[in-house]
Amino acid sequence: MASVWNHNINLSIFGESHGPAIGVVLDNLPSGEHIDMNALMSFMARRAPKKNKTSTQRREKDMPQIMSGLYNDKTTGTPLCALIQNTDQHSNDYSNLSKLARPGHADYTGAVRYSGFNDGRGGGHFSGRLTAPLCFAGAVAGQILERRGIYTGAHILEIHGIKDKSFDPVKTSRDEIKQIREKEFPTLDDKQGRLMIKDIEKAGKCLDSVGGIVECISINVPAGIGSPIFEGLENSIASLVFGIPAVKGIEFGVGFNCAKMLGSENNDEFYVDEHGHVVTRSNNHGGILGGISSGMPVTLRVAFKPTPSIAQPQKTVDYSSLTNETIKIKGRHDPCVVPRAVPCVEAAVNIALLSHMLDYPNF
């Protein structure tokens, strides 16, 4: 198993949900970059369980222990390694599930892939718990990018068919991004957010779960980063986003809706603005053309499936004895992962952008 991503920046995530700790190593970060630990902790706190009934009751401080790569709050240029202790495990919740394939989980596929030696407690290395080190890495990358004026923000666009309004794909500002980060439940329209919360709570009471969509935008990304074919900016972002458990789809710009459009509708016309910059009047392309940034905001949407851990009885198999069984999952689980996934998407996009920005002249 190699949970490593490498493109200029090398990212390695390790640990299991119910092991002693999880962590991350970041190689090839530029040296001398100041890292504000208070701001970093604020970013990671956005991933923590919410105070309402929309998320798990597992509570952990997620205070990263910096093992290397940071001295006097500045990156040293050597590998940045951080450990995050697991302190609130309830491993007994999984004692009766060791050989039962939980529907929607990687229990069966993981057991086949690793000959039954994988740690299945709480999902092990497949768990959403591993998004904590991803958020650490993304928070570091985000601070380095923001020092260059590049800001990434995300919000809950949809929960179970209840829709928020979208970011303006051309004119979203830094202040708007900062404002959405401050919200306990990050929607642009608070009224729609309250409807979403009620729907999530209803699903939880019914021992069920719901999915949704996160929309993300990055502003002030300069034109010219990325490459065609396999080294495209979309490719890099997508590969990191699909490292977030429960992600089932991603689209950039207008995404799949472009298939319904005429070329004259989909094409974004270029013009030179009052500052002498080449820009487009619309942003159907989501800020990326030919795998390379256009200078317009990078926009994307990410689809998350309903949380597979539900307390309703479900049919499954015991993959050790090959018998049919019924399973009822205990434990503390989010009826919807989407609210806590918002900073995870931001983190993935930050890492991808920074890795490509390292190729940018005079970075």
Summarize the confidence of residues 227-231 as an average pLDDT: 95
Q: Specify whether the CB–CB gap between 25 and 76 falls below 8 A.
A: no
pLDDT in tens, 149-167: 999 999 999 999 999 999 9
Q: Is the pLDDT of residue 294 over 90?
A: yes
- pLDDT, averaged across the chain: 92
Q: Is the pLDDT of residue 58 over 60?
A: no
- The alpha carbon of residue 68 and the mean position of all alpha carbons in its chain are separated, in whole angstroms, by 24
pLDDT in tens, 106-145: 888 888 888 888 877 778 787 889 999 999 999 999 999 9
Q: Where are the domains of the chain?
A: 4-357
Q: How many CB atoms within 10 Å of residue 7?
A: 20
Q: How many CB atoms within 10 Å of residue 327?
A: 17
Q: How confident is the model at residue 56 (pLDDT cuts 50, 70, 90)?
A: low
Q: Specify whether the CB–CB gap between 174 and 262 falls below 8 A.
A: no
Domain 4-357 -> CATH class: alpha beta
Q: How confident is the model at residue 54 (pLDDT cuts 50, 70, 90)?
A: low
pLDDT in tens, 244-267: 999 999 999 999 999 999 999 999
Q: How confident is the model at residue 13 (pLDDT cuts 50, 70, 90)?
A: very high
> How far, in Å, CA of 16 to CA of 268, rounded?
45
Out of 86-90, 148-152, 310-314, least confident range: 86-90
Q: How confident is the model at residue 2 (pLDDT cuts 50, 70, 90)?
A: low
Token reading at 177: 């991004």
Instruction: Supply the pLDDT for residue 65.
Output: 95
Q: How confident is the model at residue 353 (pLDDT cuts 50, 70, 90)?
A: very high
How would you class 15 by CB atoms within 10 Å of its CB: exposed for 0-12, middle for 13-18, buried for 19 or more? buried
Instruction: Supply the pLDDT for residue 115.
Output: 85
The pTM of this model reads 0.93
Out of 94-108, 151-165, 176-190, least confident range: 94-108
Q: How confident is the model at residue 207 (pLDDT cuts 50, 70, 90)?
A: very high
The stretches of 122-164 forming alpha helices (DSSP H) are: 131-146
